[in-house]
Chains A and B, each alone.
Chain A
Amino acid sequence: MSALPTSQAGETLCRRPLLHALPAQPGLVLAVLFIAVVAVATIWPGLIAGADPIAADPLQAQLPPSWQYWFGTDHLGRDVFSRVVHGARYSNLIGVSAVAFAATIGSVLGLLAGLARGLVDEIITRFLDVVSAFPDLLLALVLISFTGPGTTNLIFALGVAFVPRFARVVRAQTFVIARSGYVEQARTFGLSRTVLVMRHVLPHAVAQVPILATIGLGTAIIGAAGLSFLGMGPQPPAPEWGSMLAEGRNYLRVAWWIGVWPGLAITLTVIAISVVGRRWQAAFEGRRSA
Chain B
Amino acid sequence: MTTLVDIRNLTIAFPNRLQDNRVVHGIDLTIHEGETVALVGESGSGKSVTARTLIGLSGAVVGASRFEIAGDDVLGFRERDWRRLRGTKIGFVLQDALVSLDPLRRVSQQLADAFGHPGYFVRRDVREDSRALLRSVGIPDPERRLLQYPHQLSGGLRQRALIATAIARQPSLLIADEPTTALDATVQKQILDLLAERKQAGHTLLLISHDLAVVARLADRVLVMKHGQIVEEGPTKQILSKPAHPYTRQLLDAVPSAASRGFRLSPATDQAALPTEAVERRLPLPPKRIDAAQTVLSASGLMKRYGGGAAVVNNVSFDLAAGEALGIVGESGSGKTTVAKIVLGLVEPDSGTVLVDGQPWSHRSEAERQSRRASMQLIAQDALSSFDPRYTVEKIVGESLDTVGVFGSERRRRVIQVLDGVRLGASFLDRYPRELSGGQRQRVAIGRAFAPRPKLLIADEPVSALDVSVQAQVLDLLAELQAASGTALLFISHDLGVIHHLTDRVLVMKDGRVVETGAVETVFAAPKHSYTRALLDAVPALP
B72 within 8 A of A: no
Identify A4's interface contact among B44, B373, B434, CB under 8 A.
B44
Q: Which of A161-217 contact B (CB under 8 A)?
A: 180-182, 184-193, 195, 199-200, 203-204
**When chains A and B are docked, how far (Å) is the Cα of A212 from the Cα of B378?**
37
**Residues 364-395 of chain B, each 1 if its beta carbon lies under 8 Å from chain A, else 0:** 00100111111011101010011110100000
Q: Are A186 and B399 CB-contacts (below 8 A) given A5-B21, A181-B385?
A: yes
Within the complex, the shortest CB–CB distance from A231 to chain B, in Å, comes to 47
Contact A4 B402 (CB under 8 A): no
**When chains A and B are docked, how far (Å) is the Cα of A187 from the Cα of B403?**
11
Residue of A nearest to B370 (CB): A190
A1 within 8 A of B: yes
**Residues 13-24 of chain B, each 1 if its beta carbon lies under 8 Å from chain A, else 0:** 010101001010
Chain B residues near A1 (CB, 8 Å)? 43-44, 46-49
Contact B14 A2 (CB under 8 A): yes
A3 within 8 A of B: yes
**Residues 386-416 of chain B, each 1 if its beta carbon lies under 8 Å from chain A, else 0:** 1110100000000110110000000000000
B344 within 8 A of A: yes
Chain B residues near A187 (CB, 8 Å)? 346
Within the complex, the shortest CB–CB distance from B388 to chain A, in Å, comes to 5
Chain B residues near A186 (CB, 8 Å)? 388, 399
Contact B16 A190 (CB under 8 A): no
Q: Are A182 and B44 CB-contacts (below 8 A) given A2-B23, A188-B346, A190-B370?
A: no
A24 within 8 A of B: no
A9 within 8 A of B: yes
Contact B380 A181 (CB under 8 A): yes
Identify B14's interface contact among A5, A190, A193, CB under 8 A.
A5
B: number of interface residues (CB 8 Å):
36
Q: Are A189 and B386 CB-contacts (below 8 A) given A1-B49, A2-B23, A2-B44?
A: no
Contact A190 B388 (CB under 8 A): no
Chain A residues near B44 (CB, 8 Å)? 1-4
Q: Which of A29-58 contact B (CB under 8 A)?
A: none
Contact A192 B370 (CB under 8 A): yes
Chain B residues near A203 (CB, 8 Å)? 390
Within the complex, the shortest CB–CB distance from A278 to chain B, in Å, comes to 24
Contact A2 B49 (CB under 8 A): yes
Contact A189 B380 (CB under 8 A): no
Contact B385 A189 (CB under 8 A): no
Chain A residues near B18 (CB, 8 Å)? 9
Q: Are A190 and B48 CB-contacts (below 8 A) given A182-B385, A185-B386?
A: no
Residue of B nearest to A188 (CB): B378
Q: Which of B44-81 contact A (CB under 8 A)?
A: 44, 46-49
Chain A residues near B374 (CB, 8 Å)? 189-190
The listed residue with most B CB atoms (<10 A of its CB), out of A5, A9, A11, is: A5
Identify A189's interface contact among B366, B387, B402, CB under 8 A.
B402
Contact A4 B376 (CB under 8 A): no
Chain A residues near B14 (CB, 8 Å)? 2, 4-5
Contact A185 B378 (CB under 8 A): yes
Q: Are A181 and B382 CB-contacts (below 8 A) given A190-B370, A192-B370, A203-B390?
A: yes
Contact A2 B344 (CB under 8 A): no
**When chains A and B are docked, how far (Å) is the Cα of A189 from the Cα of B403?**
7
Please provide the 7 A-B residue pairs with the shortest distance between their CB atoms, ordered closest to farther: A190-B373, A1-B48, A5-B14, A181-B385, A181-B386, A190-B403, A190-B370
5 contacts between A and B (CB under 8 A): A2-B46, A4-B21, A5-B23, A181-B380, A193-B366
**Chain B positions near chain A (C-beta within 8 angstroms):** 14, 16, 18, 21, 23, 43-44, 46-49, 344, 346, 366, 369-374, 376-378, 380, 382, 385-388, 390, 399-400, 402-403, 434, 452
A4-B14, A9-B18, A180-B385 given; name 10 further pairs at CB < 8 Å. A2-B14, A5-B21, A182-B387, A189-B399, A189-B452, A190-B370, A190-B374, A191-B399, A192-B370, A204-B390
